[in-house]
Amino acid sequence: MSSTIVGHLIHGEIVTTGKRSQAVYNPATGEATKQVMLADQSTMEAALTSAQAAFPSWRNTPALKRAQVMSRLKVLLEQNADKICRLITDEHGKVLNDAQGELQRGIENVEYASYAPELLKGEHSKNVGPSIDSWSEFQPIGITAGITPFNFPAMVPLWMWPMAVACGNCFILKPSERDPSSTLLIAQLALEAGLPKGVLNVVNGDKEAVDALLTDPRVAAISFVGSTPIAEYIYSTGCANGKRVQALGGAKNHSIVMPDADIGNAVSALMGAAYGSCGERCMAIPLVVAVGDATADALIAGLKTEIAKMKVGPGTDVSNDMGPLVTKPHFDKVSEYVAIGVAEGADLIVDGRGIKVAGHEQGYFLGACLFDNVKPGMRIYQEEIFGPVLGVVRVATLQDAMDLINAHEYGNGTCIFTRDGEAARYFSDHIQVGMVGINVALPVPVAYHSFGGWKRSLFGDLHAYGPDAVRFYTKRKTITQRWPSAGVREGATFSFPTNK
Amino acid sequence: MSSTIVGHLIHGEIVTTGKRSQAVYNPATGEATKQVMLADQSTMEAALTSAQAAFPSWRNTPALKRAQVMSRLKVLLEQNADKICRLITDEHGKVLNDAQGELQRGIENVEYASYAPELLKGEHSKNVGPSIDSWSEFQPIGITAGITPFNFPAMVPLWMWPMAVACGNCFILKPSERDPSSTLLIAQLALEAGLPKGVLNVVNGDKEAVDALLTDPRVAAISFVGSTPIAEYIYSTGCANGKRVQALGGAKNHSIVMPDADIGNAVSALMGAAYGSCGERCMAIPLVVAVGDATADALIAGLKTEIAKMKVGPGTDVSNDMGPLVTKPHFDKVSEYVAIGVAEGADLIVDGRGIKVAGHEQGYFLGACLFDNVKPGMRIYQEEIFGPVLGVVRVATLQDAMDLINAHEYGNGTCIFTRDGEAARYFSDHIQVGMVGINVALPVPVAYHSFGGWKRSLFGDLHAYGPDAVRFYTKRKTITQRWPSAGVREGATFSFPTNK
Amino acid sequence: MSSTIVGHLIHGEIVTTGKRSQAVYNPATGEATKQVMLADQSTMEAALTSAQAAFPSWRNTPALKRAQVMSRLKVLLEQNADKICRLITDEHGKVLNDAQGELQRGIENVEYASYAPELLKGEHSKNVGPSIDSWSEFQPIGITAGITPFNFPAMVPLWMWPMAVACGNCFILKPSERDPSSTLLIAQLALEAGLPKGVLNVVNGDKEAVDALLTDPRVAAISFVGSTPIAEYIYSTGCANGKRVQALGGAKNHSIVMPDADIGNAVSALMGAAYGSCGERCMAIPLVVAVGDATADALIAGLKTEIAKMKVGPGTDVSNDMGPLVTKPHFDKVSEYVAIGVAEGADLIVDGRGIKVAGHEQGYFLGACLFDNVKPGMRIYQEEIFGPVLGVVRVATLQDAMDLINAHEYGNGTCIFTRDGEAARYFSDHIQVGMVGINVALPVPVAYHSFGGWKRSLFGDLHAYGPDAVRFYTKRKTITQRWPSAGVREGATFSFPTNK
Amino acid sequence: MSSTIVGHLIHGEIVTTGKRSQAVYNPATGEATKQVMLADQSTMEAALTSAQAAFPSWRNTPALKRAQVMSRLKVLLEQNADKICRLITDEHGKVLNDAQGELQRGIENVEYASYAPELLKGEHSKNVGPSIDSWSEFQPIGITAGITPFNFPAMVPLWMWPMAVACGNCFILKPSERDPSSTLLIAQLALEAGLPKGVLNVVNGDKEAVDALLTDPRVAAISFVGSTPIAEYIYSTGCANGKRVQALGGAKNHSIVMPDADIGNAVSALMGAAYGSCGERCMAIPLVVAVGDATADALIAGLKTEIAKMKVGPGTDVSNDMGPLVTKPHFDKVSEYVAIGVAEGADLIVDGRGIKVAGHEQGYFLGACLFDNVKPGMRIYQEEIFGPVLGVVRVATLQDAMDLINAHEYGNGTCIFTRDGEAARYFSDHIQVGMVGINVALPVPVAYHSFGGWKRSLFGDLHAYGPDAVRFYTKRKTITQRWPSAGVREGATFSFPTNK
What SS3 class is residue D320? coil
CATH number of the domain residue A396 falls in: 3.40.309.10
Query: What is the edge-to-edge ordering of all strands in the sheet holding B8-10?
Result: B13-15, B8-10, B200-202, B170-174, B143-147, B219-225, B244-248, B458-459
Taking residues C91-109, report their average pLDDT.
97
CA distance A248 to D160: 47
Q: Give CA separation, A236 vs A215, A387, B96, B241, C281, in Å.
A: 11, 28, 43, 8, 59
B117 touches chain C (CB under 8 A): yes
Same domain, D311 and D344: yes
- CB-based contact B125 C126, cutoff 8 Å: no
Same domain, D286 and D245: no
Hey, which residues 429-458 in chain C have their CB within 8 Å of chain A?
Answer: 429, 446-448
A321 touches chain B (CB under 8 A): yes
Taking residues D51-68, report their average pLDDT.
98
Chains adjacent to A (≥3 CB pairs closer than 8 angstroms): B, C, D
Q: Give CA separation, C286 vs A390, C254, C346, C428, in Å.
A: 74, 7, 14, 19
Same domain, A191 and A285: no
Taking residues C455-469, report their average pLDDT.
97
Same domain, C418 and C305: yes
Same domain, D419 and D399: yes
Same domain, C155 and C112: yes
Nearest neighbour of D124 by CB, restricted to A62, A124, A139: A124
The answer to whether residues D181 and D4 touch, using CB atoms and an 8 Å cutoff, is: no
Same domain, D128 and D272: no
CA distance B20 to B33: 17
Same domain, A104 and A237: yes
Question: For the segment D131-167, what is each residue's pLDDT rounded down to a tens digit?
Answer: 999 999 999 999 999 999 999 999 999 999 999 999 9
pLDDT of residue A488: 34
Residue D165 covered by a domain: yes
Same domain, D282 and D310: yes
What SS3 class is residue A383? coil
* C486, pLDDT greater than 70: no
Minimum distance, in Å, between the CA of residue C303 and any CA atom of chain A = 31
**B195: DSSP letter:** P
* C107, pLDDT greater than 90: yes
ipTM of the assembly? Answer: 0.95
Taking residues C151-166, report their average pLDDT.
98
Residue C30 covered by a domain: yes
A309 touches chain C (CB under 8 A): no
pLDDT of residue D153: 98
Residue D449 covered by a domain: no
* C487, pLDDT greater than 50: no
* D76, pLDDT greater than 90: yes
Residue B443 covered by a domain: no
Query: What is the edge-to-edge ordering of all strands in the sheet holding A31-38?
Result: A5-6, A31-38, A20-26
CA distance C282 to C452: 11
pLDDT of residue B495: 55
The answer to whether residues B255 and B293 touch, using CB atoms and an 8 Å cutoff, is: no
Same domain, D242 and D351: no
Give the mean pLDDT of chain C.
Answer: 95
pLDDT of residue B486: 59
- Locate the DSSP E strands across C354-412: 369-372, 389-395, 410-411
Phi–psi pair at D72, nearest 5 degrees: -70, -35
CA distance D123 to D116: 15
CA distance A499 to A68: 42
Q: Give CA separation, B140 vs B56, B164, B220, B221, in Å.
A: 10, 8, 10, 11
pLDDT of residue B138: 98
Question: For the segment C190-224, what is each residue's pLDDT rounded down to a tens digit?
Answer: 999 999 999 999 999 999 999 999 999 999 999 99
Go through C313-341 and write b for each residue having 16 or more CB atoms within 10 A of its CB, e for each that does not. bbbbeeebbbbbbbbeebbeebbebbeeb
Go through B170-197 and write b for each residue having 16 or more CB atoms within 10 A of its CB, e for each that does not. bbbbbbbbbbbbbbbbbbbbbbebebbe
Q: How many other C-beta atoms can be found within 10 angstroms of the C-beta atom of residue D259?
A: 14
* A493, pLDDT greater than 50: no
- End-to-end alpha carbon distance in chain C: 75
Residues 6+ apart with CB under 8 A from C163: C109, C112, C113, C116, C465, C469, C470, C473
Minimum distance, in Å, between the CA of residue C484 and any CA atom of chain D = 7
- CB-based contact B446 D131, cutoff 8 Å: no
Count each helix (H run) and each strand (E run) in chain D, helices first.
16, 23
Residues of D in contact with C242 (CB under 8 A): 232, 235, 456, 459
Nearest CA to B286 out of B255, B325, B327 is that of: B255
Phi–psi pair at D280, nearest 5 degrees: -85, 60
Q: Hey, what amino acid is at D194? A: G
Taking residues A355-378, report their average pLDDT.
97
Taking residues D72-100, report their average pLDDT.
98
Residues 6+ apart with CB under 8 A from C190: C69, C73, C200
* Half-sphere exposure of residue D374: CA atoms within 13 angstroms, side-chain side: 31
Residues of B in contact with C130 (CB under 8 A): 60, 62
Same domain, A268 and A119: no
* A1, pLDDT greater than 60: no
CA distance B188 to B198: 12
- Residue A285 lies in domain: 254-438
Give the mean pLDDT of chain D.
Answer: 95
D76 touches chain B (CB under 8 A): no
Residues of C in contact with D452 (CB under 8 A): 476, 478
Residue A320 covered by a domain: yes
pLDDT of residue D484: 87
The H or E element that residue A212 is part of is: helix A207-215
Residue B27 covered by a domain: yes
pTM equals 0.96
pLDDT interval class at A486 (50, 70, 90): low
Residue A451 covered by a domain: no
Q: Which residues pair with A432 in a beta bridge?
A: none
The H or E element that residue C476 is part of is: strand C474-482
CA distance A221 to A217: 10
pLDDT of residue D488: 34
| Alpha helix positions (H), B39-154 | 41-60, 63-79, 81-92, 96-113, 116-119
Where does a domain end: C411, C438, C465? Answer: C438
Q: Report the 3 state secondary structure along C190-251.
A: HHHHCCCCCCEEECCCCHHHHHHHHHCCCEEEEEEECCHHHHHHHHHHHHHCCCEEEEECCC
B480 touches chain A (CB under 8 A): yes
- CB-based contact D446 C499, cutoff 8 Å: yes
- Percent of the residues in chain A that have a pLDDT greater than 70, as a whole number: 96
Nearest CA to B242 out of A249, A235, A412 is that of: A235
The answer to whether residues C173 and C146 touch, using CB atoms and an 8 Å cutoff, is: yes
Instruction: Work out whether strand B132-140 and strand C389-395 pair parallel, antiparallel, or are unpaired.
Output: unpaired
D282 catalytic? Reply is yes
Residue C450 covered by a domain: no
Work out how many domains chain B is built from and give that number: 2
Taking residues A434-444, report their average pLDDT.
97
Question: For the segment A231-241, what is each residue's pLDDT rounded down to a tens digit?
Answer: 999 999 999 99
- CB-based contact D123 A124, cutoff 8 Å: yes
A122 touches chain D (CB under 8 A): yes
CATH number of the domain residue A161 falls in: 3.40.605.10
pLDDT of residue A489: 29
Q: How many other C-beta atoms can be found within 10 angstroms of the C-beta atom of residue B65?
A: 17
- End-to-end alpha carbon distance in chain D: 75
The answer to whether residues D420 and B485 touch, using CB atoms and an 8 Å cutoff, is: no
Nearest CA to D229 out of D383, D397, D11, D55 is that of: D383
The answer to whether residues D352 and D365 touch, using CB atoms and an 8 Å cutoff, is: no
CA distance B312 to B358: 10
Residues of D in contact with A497 (CB under 8 A): none
pLDDT of residue B485: 76
pLDDT of residue D186: 98
pLDDT interval class at A457 (50, 70, 90): very high
pLDDT of residue D485: 76
The answer to whether residues B90 and A413 touch, using CB atoms and an 8 Å cutoff, is: no
B406 touches chain A (CB under 8 A): no
CA distance A95 to A201: 29
pLDDT tens digits in sequence order for chain B, 500 residues long: 445 899 999 999 999 988 999 999 999 999 999 999 999 999 999 999 999 999 999 999 999 999 999 999 999 999 999 999 999 999 999 999 999 999 999 999 999 999 999 999 999 999 999 999 999 999 999 999 999 999 999 999 999 999 999 999 999 999 999 999 999 999 999 999 999 999 999 999 999 999 999 999 999 999 999 999 999 999 999 999 999 999 999 999 999 999 999 999 999 999 999 999 999 999 999 999 999 999 999 999 999 999 999 999 999 999 999 999 999 999 999 999 999 999 999 999 999 999 999 999 999 999 999 999 999 999 999 999 999 999 999 999 999 999 999 999 999 999 999 999 999 999 999 999 999 999 999 999 999 999 999 999 999 999 999 999 999 999 999 999 999 875 333 334 445 555 44
Minimum distance, in Å, between the CA of residue B445 and any CA atom of chain C = 20
Question: For the segment C1-57, what is each residue's pLDDT rounded down to a tens digit?
Answer: 445 899 999 999 999 988 999 999 999 999 999 999 999 999 999 999 999 999 999
Nearest neighbour of A236 by CB, restricted to B232, B239, B446: B239
Residues of D in contact with A59 (CB under 8 A): none
CA distance B119 to B268: 37
pLDDT interval class at A487 (50, 70, 90): very low
pLDDT interval class at A3 (50, 70, 90): low
Same domain, C361 and C308: yes
The answer to whether residues A477 and B468 touch, using CB atoms and an 8 Å cutoff, is: no
CA distance B224 to B231: 7
Q: Which residues pair with A411 in a beta bridge?
A: A454
* A383, pLDDT greater than 60: yes
D65 touches chain A (CB under 8 A): yes
pLDDT interval class at D236 (50, 70, 90): very high
